[in-house]
Structure 1
Amino acid sequence: MSGERYTKDHDFVRVEDDVAIVGITDFAQSQLGDIVFVELPSPGKRVAKGEQLATIESVKAASEIYAPISGEVVAVNERLESSPDLVNKEPLGEGWLLTLRIDDAAELEDLMDEDAYRAFLESEG
């Protein structure tokens, strides 16, 4: 599988080998406004799909990020500790949040592909 998969909560998952890169979409960061703090879990933490995974604080509000799939946190984007604004600047690039070792690849099928996500955004607008 290539490309990103998306949740209705505006998170993305990009699969590379058996690891999923997780972050928020450009739409999500634009809704949050200027991001000032990102709280990430420790590597090694196991999460179930739908469980709280991270918290992003902006000048507007704090927002919880929920695990789009089940897995084990492999790494977190340590650059966000000193530069949380990377999430605003490059949400699908350098502003990624963390990586998860995938427990069940079938959970990815519940996520939207890019076309479905675009249609979802249009229906929300």
Structure 2
Amino acid sequence: MGLFGWWSEKTKKGGGETMPEIGETEIRSKVQNLLDTAINPAVAMHGGFVQLLDVKDNSVYLQMGGGCQGCGAADITLKQGIERMIREEVPEVTEILDVTDHAAGANPYYSPSKG
């Protein structure tokens, strides 16, 4: 640990600026705010929602529901939309994991291949 312990600095990508690292509680708060204000309103137009399940070691665990669960475009939505937005707004996040069981549910769009 550094001189102050909790005040570890890291360099921002591409710039010379430094910023203090934030903890899991602040990451959780920032990701939840992003879900509430930007991500969920967008996916709600397709009948879906995204839930923050956990934050551990700067990894974010998300679960998709509604129209997003089992949707064939769920991976694209995650990689090109949700993940991009989270990484831009919360650069401390190192990994974003979708833990949704896309084959489960009463009426999933995705159904695993049979046979």
The TM-score, its normalising length taken from structure 1, stands at: 0.27
Instruction: Please tell me whether Structure 1 or Structure 2 has the larger radius of gyration of its CA atoms.
Output: 2
Structure holding more strand per residue: 1
The TM-score, its normalising length taken from structure 2, stands at: 0.29
Structure holding more helix per residue: 2
Higher relative contact order structure (alpha carbons within 8 Å, sequence separation ≥ 6): 1
